[in-house]
Structure 1
Amino acid sequence: MNTRVVTAHIPVELADQLDDISARLDRPKGWIVKRALASYVELEARRHAMVLEALTDVDEGRVVSHADIKAWVDGLPE
């Protein structure tokens, strides 16, 4: 697998937390950062896909009116 170095400035508190996790898991910080970044990228890709799906629903008229939502909320038990 080809790799590339990426540099980021992070708050000291976050760096300290990374140090703690690295020590607790007995894993290199790079391994933890790589896993965290991969999880974030996957989550962001899913979020983007859901936004595109929602925009398609809007374009195709699959929406619920504000009045219908308000009526539903008003009908919920307290």
Structure 2
Amino acid sequence: MTATATTRTLTAQVPVALAEEVDALAEQIERPKQWIIKKALIAYLAREKEKRRLIQEGLDDVDAGRVVSMEQADAWADGLGTQNERPVPRA
């Protein structure tokens, strides 16, 4: 037996052009508009969650002193695409 997820309707105003793109895609892939919007919202929220996680990871590295100097980063970047490429600097 499969449990049915509780749902809630959200309303959002979007530009007409965006709504028309959703309409066209729904017709093209033969899916309901709500399915497309749900998939897009899931993907967006996952990206934002990962972005926040990576930002926090970077802030934690700074707090812990796991950083490279600007000079190290510049020296590495200057060598890219040359015969003097260096390994990525490590903290």
Q: Same fold (TM over 0.5)?
A: yes
CA distance in 2, matches of 1:31, 1:7: 15
In the alignment, the residues of structure 1 paired with residue 57 and residue 27 of structure 2 have an alpha-carbon distance, to the nearest angstrom, of 41
**Which structure has greater helix proportion?**
1
Q: Which residue of 1 aligns with 2:35?
A: 31
2:68 equivalent to 1:64: yes
Q: Distance in 2 between matches of 1:2 and 1:18?
A: 24
Alignment identity in percent?
44
* Paired positions, count: 78
Runs of 4+ in 1 over 3 A off after TM superposition: none
For 2:21, the equivalent position in structure 1 comes to: 17
Which of 1 and 2 has greater Rg?
2
For structure 1, list consecutive stretches of 5 or more residues without a partner in the other structure: none
Per-residue CA shift, 1:4-63, capped at 9, x if unaligned? 111111111111110110000111100110011011111111111111111100000111
* Alignment RMSD (CA, Å): 1.3
The higher-RCO structure (CA 8 Å, 6+ apart) is 2
- Taking structure 2 as the reference length, the TM-score comes to 0.79
TM-score, L = length of structure 1: 0.91
